[in-house]
Amino acid sequence: MIKFETVIGMEFHIQLNTKSKMFCRCDNYSAEAKPNTNTCPTCMGFPGTLPVANEKAIEWTMLLGLALNGKVADSFNFERKNYFYPDLPKAYQITSSTNPPVVGGYLDIVTSKGESKIRINHIHLEEDAGKLVHASNGNYSLVDLNRASTPLMELVTEADFRTPEEARVFAENLRSIVRYLGISSGNMEEGNLRADANISLRPVGQKEFGKKVEIKNMNSFKSIERALEYEVKRQTETLSEGGTLFQETRGWDENKGKTMSQRSKEEAHDYRYFPEPDLPPFKPKKEVIDRLKAEMPELPSEKRERFEGEYGLTAYDAMVLTSDVELARFFEQGVEEIMKKESKDFIPKESAKKLANWTLTELLGRLNAKGISVKNSPIKSRQLADLIALIDEGTISGKIAKTVFDEMFETGKNPEEIIKDKGLVQITDTKALEETVDAVLDNNPKSVEDFKAGKAQAFGFLIGQVMKETKGQANPKIVNEILRKKLS
Ligand SMILES: [Zn+2]
């Protein structure tokens, strides 16, 4: 039986967060604005209007290129891509794919099969189209031009992906990077980040590519992986049975869990590209590129390495903490709070580890369960740092801390306040604890006997009884000492 190799290339459309649109001064797209309110004669394509390029959008495209190790072109130009569709008032889209602003680059990703280098072909900048809203009775459609002419980057990779997982991980990393750069919210569900894939199979060892199938309509990271997995299976089965594949475009149906043919190659458009006569070729200045390089924030991969080295976190914890810019910020603010509290200019690795644990298991777990973003977390970094300090000082036990944490998450209150209101302060009064221990020993003569007969687990049971009596508020270390003394 022939073994096949999967070959995937990806195209990403990324909506830029600029204040205004790509070629006019209208507000950039927001989903909340009423239809056709963010519009002007230019983005509605009135005759006689002239486009003026948004400099910020151009800079941000170059910034992403530099972040992905690409080269900013010495010169690039806008061009017209001609096609007719009701959401495109000019009947052409201004784009820059022939001579793009960024060429080359790569991103290293890590998947279950290890590290892979994904090369980038180019990144170009273009304007988005408007939106059509179809009536439910199918009799008419409405057009909303708020999104028309908003800035959109398109990133095209080389066909370097060999597994659907790689495509998904690349997309996740790309979102993380655009969010670190602050140039896009990169939200796939909301369409700020859109992905298309080209996928083909070839017998292992063969150089030429197989028949390429384009996959559209993948609206989440998970659906990228699922759609491509489905397609690998479909193509493998067809080829193994001696069937033929066609070059075509297929749409992913999330509910049915399969791709469906949308159009074949014969229906492909001829876009009659030609240079945009109203916008001169753009020559990026060296000073601008140097400034962008200097302003480049710390990127996820750099942050990840630093979290491992400086804070002594595990590779996994560092990876999760840096995957989202808000989460990384939350953690680093916590680090600063702890340093402030301890009057140190570094954070002990043990404290950093504790902060990472609380952030990742307790906080992130609750946020994800409730669908709340880190940015809107009811518990702030400072409050978490306070809670950790209260555990370290012995004011509360680790067990009580979880109860306090629950309350903090529900109410947003400070930990000190909750501890005071609910009387949760840890019992460290040796005399009071000795009395409780005596009572527990009196009530459990069998366990005392067992312990003296060498059954070590009886000791744990007795500790548990003391903790139960004190509603978890006894300092376990002191209880341990008292119990040992009394039993010896
Ligand atoms: Zn406008």
Distance between CA atoms of residues 459 and 302, nearest Å: 48
For ligand 1, the distance from its centroid to the CA atom of residue 296, given in whole angstroms, is 30
Amino acid (1-letter code) at residue 172: E
For ligand 1, the distance from its centroid to the CA atom of residue 38, given in whole angstroms, is 7
- What is the pTM for the complete model shown? 0.85
Confidence of residue 178 (pLDDT cuts 50, 70, 90): very high
pLDDT tens-digit series, residues 280-306: 999 999 999 999 999 999 999 999 999
For ligand 1, the distance from its centroid to the CA atom of residue 51, given in whole angstroms, is 9
Amino acid (1-letter code) at residue 361: T
**pLDDT at residue 138, rounded to an integer:** 86
For ligand 1, the distance from its centroid to the CA atom of residue 411, given in whole angstroms, is 44
Distance between CA atoms of residues 121 and 282, nearest Å: 20
Measure the CA dihedral 101/104/110/112, to 10°.
Answer: 110
Amino acid (1-letter code) at residue 282: F
DSSP state at residue 43? T
Q: Which residues contact 158 (CB under 8 A, 6 or more apart)?
A: 9, 118, 119, 120, 121
**pLDDT at residue 265, rounded to an integer:** 67
Residue 31 has pLDDT above 80, yes or no: no
pLDDT tens-digit series, residues 263-279: 876 666 789 999 999 99
For ligand 1, the distance from its centroid to the CA atom of residue 53, given in whole angstroms, is 12
For ligand 1, the distance from its centroid to the CA atom of residue 16, given in whole angstroms, is 16
pLDDT tens-digit series, residues 58-108: 999 999 999 999 999 999 999 999 999 999 999 999 999 999 999 999 999
Contact in structure between 72 and 284 (CB atoms under 8 Å)? yes
For ligand 1, the distance from its centroid to the CA atom of residue 19, given in whole angstroms, is 12
Residue 310 has pLDDT above 90, yes or no: yes
Helix (H) or strand (E) holding 276: none
Residue 321 has pLDDT above 70, yes or no: yes
Q: Which residues in the chain are classed under CATH 1.10.10.410?
A: 430-487
Amino acid (1-letter code) at residue 149: S
| CATH architecture assignment, domain 430-487 | Orthogonal Bundle (1.10)
pLDDT tens-digit series, residues 99-128: 999 999 999 999 999 999 999 999 999 999
